[in-house]
Chains A and B, each alone.
Chain A
Amino acid sequence: MLKVRSIVLLPRRWKSGAKKRWNVLQNKKNNCDRAMDNFDDFYGSVYGSRWKNMRAALLTRHKYVAMVNNFGDTEQTCSMLETDGAINMKSLINLAQDRLKDSTETVPEQGKSRHEIEGKLDALFRKQQEREVASIYPSSGEDGSSNSLPQQLKFDNTEEKHPAEEEFNNPFKQSLTKALEEDVKLDEHRLVDPQFGTGGLYEYMPAHSIKGMEDWVAESEHYKYYQTSADFPLTIEPEASFHYPEHLSLYTYEMGNCSDFKGPKKCLTGVLSHFMMDGASTLPPLFLQVKPGERVLDACASPGGKSLLMLQTLHLDRLVCNDIQESRLNKLRKVMQEYLFDFKERWASKRLIFNQSDARNLDQYEQFDKILVDVPCTTDRHVLNEQDNNIFKPTRIKERLRIPELQAGILANCLRLLRPGGSLVYSTCSLSPIQNDGVVHMALQKVFTEYGITATIKDLSQHTALFSDVFKFEHPKGLKYGQMVVPYLPANFGPMYFSKITRNV
């Protein structure tokens, strides 16, 4: 049966296939490297010498906690995890509570030294701007034609409109000849000598944008989002109480223990026994403090860990899971199907509602008691370790620099969705103060100026102290509106920033 015809010869190119020349290898810079450079620059100046510890932790594999599925063989799973040496977070918290009762150590109040971070960011912004200006006008110092660099870069999008208007009023040719006659200060180098033909003059058009740089966005734009002037009423008060949900069992290993959990197994009810998630991701839903009978929205739900945790507290009556893409919602559906018993009959579209839309466009105003706003961010750990779907891809630069705008938009809209007196938790998995405190500030400002909504920031630092055996927290002094878990090698969770905001009645 073997015919000569059926043998297909695939010519293989050897020469250009795998380039191994040193300059090719060296100059290759992938998305992760780009992210690393950016972080080294940015976080290095924000966090100082602590950045290197976070850097090493971010580049190393993160630690999980296991959330026991209450819809499966709960007791068996718990005892399995316990025999492996894991500890129930609830008992750790009870211990910490007892300890804290005895000691009357006062936690420093939030945001006392934030002017430090403001100064740092301001310096960073100026440095970046100077660098960008210098890269665009590299030779201006040498020929001495312009002694002072322009203070700020102007972007072609805004600039282009002006010449267009002028063109409409007086035809182009005319204005040029007029300019040639009147403007004596013209650059001698750029004059076209008539002896070589005046034809060139008519083809001359002054440059209005730089070829290849049309889409160029200055990195320094990003740093502008961190504003500090508060021109809206804002109160920060300590959160009154914290209750750990009775039915929730989270298992973790103690600090310094890097063991892995066993993979989830199928239980008798057909669901999986436990869910593994980054430990820091458990904190935003825990601090949201969902109580029985409340209507809850998870504004950016996928991949579903945080939603699932809220469902595992068994407090929820209705949860609306929103996400922007159908594909992300499908991921979420799959997780819920795997972990919720009788998903189709009892949960889907009854107690658990999936909704696909941009969180900025949701319009069920004043409907929800609690909202979890886990916004899209630079996902610091992901961008350093994965090439796919990396926001530091050069073509996504505009998207990346405008992330704070998107985040603030989502947060502002979610504040409007909140019933007066209801509260939300804003969380990101980024270390950037711009995406964290900066965005909270922007959103609060926006809802106040546009809709007259005022809010209260809940200071959680008293309660995060309960978790200090498990997580490493950023000192609350350096943060304005929230708390943050920082990556730390023996407890390699996070980064995770979260801020609890209550809408004033």
Chain B
Amino acid sequence: MLRKLLFNTQVVLKQQPKLHHIRHLASPKILQLEQVHIDEAIKIEPTLSIFSPEIWRRAHETFQNHGLETVNFLRIVTGNPAVLKRTPDKIINSLEIWRACQFGENLLHLLLTKYPELLDISDSHQLLSQIGFIKSRVSTSKNVWKLLMNSPDLIAQPEETVEEKLNFIIDVMRVEVPELAKSAALSLPFSELRCRHEFLVRLGLFKPRPLKADPNEPTTNHKLYQITDTSEKSFATKICHVTLPEYEAFKELYAKELERKTRKAKEEEDSSDED
């Protein structure tokens, strides 16, 4: 039963905190860390067996003091066993770094539970500037949080790549921020994103919305998450309705086309320099 409770991934994937609460009201809350819990966790992540009960207790207390429930604590340590190695001060430090992003306690806990690796971040300055930059593009903290829930690698990507992708999605694909936040588009490399978009455009299946079109007007375009959060095969067959070899051939041809274009532009630049 515990395992079911602990690792019901559905709970984690549900991004709505409300639902989360309802589930917890239904099942009894675990407040104490008991040996059964530790045993279960070790079963799932054997590397945890090296830690003494004292360490377990200490870490649990630290997390509990910061408002994380036992269930979430267990999820975090099984996902990222290295957390247990750290002193309470260090744990508190990394929690504080994340708290500074101002997602709100509840959302933050959800984020950290889903991606325990995020606790490894130690450079608060870099994180904050990155979050600030994303926020400047998507306007609210909630949106930043949604983006991170979908693509946690965002904080590790250089600002220029993120900007390139955001510009492309917003200016070229004309996809609005709410739709962007629902997809993992930003985890995709820029070239892949551009290739998928261009393929859909050439197939005639994606028409970027006119700038002054009514946003409530329904489009026949595929949703961004359908385009980006799919494997290559299902993108080709389910979204584009073509065969995989066709998409693969397109990828190759398009890469060549772009390479030719850049080479041409470079040559022109060189020749104009000579003039």
A49 touches B241 (CB 8 A): yes
Fill in one digit per residue for B206-248: 1 if any A CB lies within 8 Å of its CB, else 0: 0000111000000000000000000000000000011001111
Q: A256: CB under 8 A from chain B?
A: yes
Q: Please, how many angstroms separate the alpha-carbon atoms of A312 and B230 in the complex?
A: 49
A26 interface residue per 8 A CB criterion: yes
Q: Does B246 lie within 8 Å of A490, measured CB to CB?
A: yes
A258 contacts B205, C-beta separation under 8 Å = no
Interface of B is mostly: helix
Can you sample 11 A-B contacts with CB below 8 Å? Answer: A22-B212, A26-B211, A40-B204, A53-B242, A56-B242, A60-B253, A256-B245, A488-B246, A489-B247, A489-B253, A490-B249
Interface residues in A274-324 (C-beta closer than 8 Å to B): none
Give every chain A residue within 8 A of B247 (Cβ-Cβ).
Answer: 489
Q: Mark B236-271, 1 if CB is under 8 A from A, else 0.
A: 000001100111111011101100000000000000
Instruction: Assess the B253–A492 pair: CB atoms within 8 A.
Output: yes
A260 to chain B, nearest CB (A): 8
Q: Which residue of A lies closest to B250 (CB)?
A: A489
The yes or no answer to B202 lying at the interface (CB within 8 A) is: yes
Please, how many angstroms separate the alpha-carbon atoms of A488 and B241 in the complex?
14
Whether, in the assembled complex, A52 has its beta carbon less than 8 Å from a beta carbon of chain B, the answer is: yes
Contact pick for A256, options B211, B212, B249, CB 8 Å: B249
**B210 close to A26 (CB less than 8 A):** yes
Count of interface residues, chain A, beta-carbon cutoff 8 Å? 20
Q: Give min CB distance, A371 to chain B, whole Å.
A: 35
Chain B neighbourhood of A55, CB < 8 A:
202-204
Once A49-B241, A60-B254, A61-B257 are accepted as A-B contacts, the answer to whether A258 and B249 lie under 8 Å apart by CB is yes
Q: Give which listed residue, A60, A61, A490, contacts B245 with CB less than 8 A.
A: A490
| Residue of A whose beta carbon sits closest to that of B211 | A22
Distance of A132 Cα from B257 Cα, bound (Å):
39
Whether B199 sits at the interface, judged by CB under 8 Å, is yes
Q: Report yes or no: A492 in contact with B203, Cβ–Cβ below 8 A.
A: no
Nearest CB in chain B to that of A59: its residue: B202
Say how far B30's CB is from chain A's closest CB, in angstroms: 54
Residues of chain B with a CB closer than 8 A to A59's CB: 202
Using a CB–CB distance below 8 Å, which chain A residues touch chain B?
Answer: 22, 26, 40, 49, 51-53, 55-56, 59-61, 255-256, 258, 260, 488-490, 492
Specify which of A22, A255, A258 is in contact with B252 (CB 8 Å cutoff). A258
Give 17 A-B pairs besides A56-B204, A489-B246 with Cβ atoms closer than 8 angstroms: A22-B212, A26-B210, A51-B204, A52-B203, A53-B203, A53-B242, A55-B202, A56-B202, A256-B248, A258-B253, A258-B256, A489-B245, A489-B253, A490-B245, A490-B246, A490-B249, A492-B249
4 shortest interchain CB distances as A-B pairs: A56-B202, A490-B249, A489-B249, A489-B246
Within 8 Å by CB of B253, from A40, A52, A53, A61, lies: A61
Contacts of B256 in A (CB 8 A): 61, 258, 260
CB neighbours (8 Å) of A52 from chain B are 203-205, 241-242
Residues of B close to A255: CB separation below 8 A = 245
Q: How far is the CB of A62 from chain B (nearest CB, A)?
A: 9
Q: Tell me, in angstroms, the Cα distance from A125 to B186 when the chains sit together.
A: 46
Note all chain B residues with C-beta closer than 8 A to A51. Answer: 204
Which B residues have a C-beta under 8 Å from some C-beta of A?
Answer: 199, 202-205, 210-212, 241-242, 245-250, 252-254, 256-257
Query: Within the complex, what minimum Cβ distance (angstroms) separates B200 from chain A?
Result: 9
**Do A56 and B241 touch (CB < 8 A)?**
no
Complex Cα–Cα for A307 and B113 (A): 71
Query: Which residues of chain B are near A22, meaning CB under 8 Å?
Result: 211-212
The smallest beta-carbon distance between A387 and chain B, in angstroms, is: 16
> Quick check: A60 and B248 within 8 Å, CB to CB?
no
Q: Is the CB–CB distance between B199 and A56 below 8 Å?
A: yes
* Cα(A234)–Cα(B202), bound, Å: 40
**Nearest Cβ on chain B to A277's Cβ, whole angstroms:** 18
Q: A residues within 8 A CB of B199?
A: 56
Q: What A residues does B249 contact at CB under 8 A?
A: 256, 258, 489-490, 492
A52 to B243 CA separation, bound complex (whole angstroms)? 12
> Would you give the shortest CB distance from A258 to chain B, in whole angstroms?
5
Chain B residue numbers with a CB within 8 Å of A489 are 242, 245-247, 249-250, 253
Q: Are B210 and A60 in contact (CB under 8 A)?
A: no
Across the interface, name the chain A residue whose C-beta is closest to B248: A256
Q: How far is the CA of A52 from the CA of B240 in the complex (A)?
A: 9
A492 and B254 alpha carbons, distance in the complex (Å): 13
Q: Are A60 and B204 in contact (CB under 8 A)?
A: no
Q: Closest CB-CB distance, A463 to chain B, in whole Å?
A: 25
Partner of A60, one of B205, B211, B212, B257: B257
Cα A328 to Cα B245 in complex, Å, equals 38
CA distance A22 to B246 in the complex (A): 34
Contacts of B254 in A (CB 8 A): 60
- Give CA–CA (A49, B203) in the complex, Å: 10
Which residue in chain A gives the minimum CB-CB distance to B212?
Answer: A22
B171 CB to nearest chain A CB (Å): 11
Kindly name the residue among A22, A40, A52, A56 whose own CB sees the greatest number of chain B CB atoms within 10 A.
Answer: A56
Whole-angstrom distance between the Cβ of A370 and the nearest chain B Cβ = 35
CA of A40 to CA of B203 in the docked complex: distance in angstroms?
A: 10
Give chain A nearest CB distance to B221 CB in angstroms: 14
Contacts of B245 in A (CB 8 A): 255-256, 489-490
A256 cross-chain contacts in B, Cβ below 8 A: 245, 248-249
Once bound together, how far apart are the Cα atoms of A489 and B247, in whole Å?
A: 8
How far is B245's CA from A334's CA once the two chains are assembled, in angstroms? 39
Q: How far is the CB of B44 from chain A (nearest CB, A)?
A: 43
Complex alpha-carbon distance, A260 and B204, angstroms = 27
Query: What is the bound-complex CA distance between A489 and B199, given in angstroms?
Result: 11
User: Complex formed: what's the CA distance from A488 to B199 in Å?
Assistant: 14
Chain B residue with Cβ nearest A490? B249
| Known contacts A26-B211, A258-B256; A60 and B203 CB within 8 A of each other | no
Cα–Cα distance between A255 and B252 once the two chains are bound (Å): 13
Task: With both chains docked as a complex, state the minimum distance between the C-beta of A476 and any C-beta of chain B, in angstroms.
Answer: 21
Among the interface residues B212, B246, B256, which one has the most CB atoms of the partner chain A within 10 A?
B246
Nearest A residue to B255 by beta-carbon distance? A258
Q: What residues of B have a CB within 8 angstroms of the CB of A56 in the complex?
A: 199, 202-204, 242, 246, 250
Chain B residues with CB below 8 A from A260, complex form: 256
CA distance A53 to B202 in the complex (A): 9
